[in-house]
């Protein structure tokens, strides 16, 4: 994986890349030549980087909304070398209301509620709009249809990342809705990647820890051990190569430093996609 690479090549200079096998030389050249798509590739041609206004449908839950806001600001600030922070508008939903509607299976009302928030963001001039919760993507297509807005999709962004990293079988952790329904899995399947979810008892455990702990910013070592044991179980029984953090609160608990398998962090990947669209000239 090529990360945090910055090059300054002046006109007329000949630039060479040296490195051991696997260092990323070919990957770097393929990204520069547009043969593969990087997550973020910036060619600075002016002193000040312009960004489109970003709109977030937040509150589902509050902890992940804070992560989005902080990371979008800090990453764009670093990328612009301290010259730019993005304009961001947030429409925060009533999480309890949204959750109750969803658990009742009233997806029509849920899509109406989220569409109100997306339309409010349109009024603010937001050009790049995203839902800050994986589970709310259960009505992603309906919200896009009702609002006419091409939302930045978490499932698509994460499945693209998994494909680029060469994974063929991944484990999926998230809310009950995310693990048991297909909206998070479809893009993976279309990319030829098999998706495995925990068994019924383990799904209940994951959902309970998310709803009772992580939604409130509570992170426990005992829960981390439970999740790593569960991930090892999925690896041993199903041969998963990586784990998808399919709930935007899960990165509070799991990351590549403390997880037994590589993590596909839906928040980090989604944020990078939002930034790419916000700074794009297209």
Instruction: Give me 105's structure tokens.
Output: 């299976």
Question: What is the pLDDT, as a whole number, of residue 11?
Answer: 58
Highest mean pLDDT among 127-136, 213-222, 226-235: 226-235
Which residues make Cβ contacts (< 8 Å) with residue 170, sequence separation at least 6?
Answer: 162, 188, 193, 194, 195, 196, 240, 241, 242, 243, 244, 264
Question: What is the pLDDT, as a whole number, of residue 89?
Answer: 97
Average pLDDT over residues 257-267: 95
The predicted-structure confidence for 232-242, as pLDDT tens digits, reads as follows 999 999 999 99
Question: What is the pLDDT, as a whole number, of residue 19?
Answer: 60
Question: What is the pLDDT, as a whole number, of residue 21?
Answer: 44
Which CATH number is 163-269's, of 3.40.50.2300, 3.40.1130.10, 3.40.50.300, 3.40.50.1860?
3.40.50.1860
Provide the percentage of residues in the chain whose pLDDT is more than 70: 83
The predicted-structure confidence for 175-226, as pLDDT tens digits, reads as follows 999 999 999 999 999 999 999 999 999 999 999 999 999 988 899 999 999 9
For the chain, give every domain's residue range.
1-38, 54-154, 163-269
Whether 170 and 188 have beta carbons less than 8 Å apart is answered as yes
**What confidence category does residue 50 fall into, taking pLDDT thresholds of 50, 70 and 90?**
confident
Whether 173 and 198 have beta carbons less than 8 Å apart is answered as yes
pLDDT exceeds cutoff 70 at 3: no
Question: What is the pLDDT, as a whole number, of residue 242?
Answer: 97
Q: What's the mean pLDDT when you consider all of the chain? A: 88
**What confidence category does residue 64 fall into, taking pLDDT thresholds of 50, 70 and 90?**
confident
pLDDT exceeds cutoff 90 at 14: no
d(CA 169, CA 267): 20
Residue-wise over 124-159: b if at least 16 C-beta within 10 A, else e? eebebbbbbbbbbbbbbebbbebbebebbbbbbbbb
Residue-wise over 251-275: b if at least 16 C-beta within 10 A, else e? bbbbeeeebebebbbbbbbbbbbbb
Average pLDDT over residues 110-118: 97
Question: What is the pLDDT, as a whole number, of residue 29?
Answer: 60
Other beta carbons within 10 Å of 59? 20
CATH of the domain spanning 54-154 = 3.40.50.1860
Scan for tokens 């005992």, then name that residue: 222
| 92 closest CA partner among 58, 121, 63 | 58
Q: Tell me, yes or no, if the two domains 54-154 and 163-269 fold the same way.
A: yes
Question: What is the pLDDT, as a whole number, of residue 62?
Answer: 85
């Amino acid at each position: 994986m090529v990360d945090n690479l910055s090059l300054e090549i002046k006109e007329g200079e000949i630039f060479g890349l040296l490195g051991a096998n696997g260092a990323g030389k070919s990957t770097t050249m393929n990204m520069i030549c547009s043969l593969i798509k990087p997550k973020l590739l910036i060619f600075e041609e002016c002193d000040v980087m312009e960004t489109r206004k970003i709109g977030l449908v937040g509150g589902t839950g509050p902890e992940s909304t804070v992560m989005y806001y902080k990371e979008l600001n800090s990453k764009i600030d670093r990328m612009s070398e301290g010259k730019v922070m993005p304009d961001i508008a947030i429409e925060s939903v009533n999480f309890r209301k949204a959750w109750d509607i969803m658990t009742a299976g009233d997806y029509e009302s849920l899509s109406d509620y989220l569409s109100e928030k997306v339309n409010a963001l349109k009024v603010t001039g937001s050009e790049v709009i995203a839902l800050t919760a994986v589970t709310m993507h259960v009505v992603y297509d309906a919200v896009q249809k009702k609002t006419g807005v091409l939302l930045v999709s978490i499932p698509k962004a994460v499945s693209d990342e998994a494909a680029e990293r060469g994974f063929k079988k991944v484990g999926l952790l998230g809310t009950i809705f995310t693990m048991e329904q297909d909206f998070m899995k479809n893009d993976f399947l279309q990319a030829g990647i098999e998706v495995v979810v925990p068994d019924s008892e383990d799904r209940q455990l994951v959902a309970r820890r998310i709803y009772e702990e992580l939604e409130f910013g509570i992170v426990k070592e005992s829960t981390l051990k439970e999740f790593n044991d569960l991930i090892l179980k999925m690896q041993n029984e199903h041969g998963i190569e990586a784990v998808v953090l399919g709930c935007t609160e899960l990165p509070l608990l799991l990351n590549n430093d403390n997880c037994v398998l590589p993590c596909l962090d839906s928040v980090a990947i989604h944020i990078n996609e939002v930034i790419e669209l916000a700074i794009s000239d297209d």
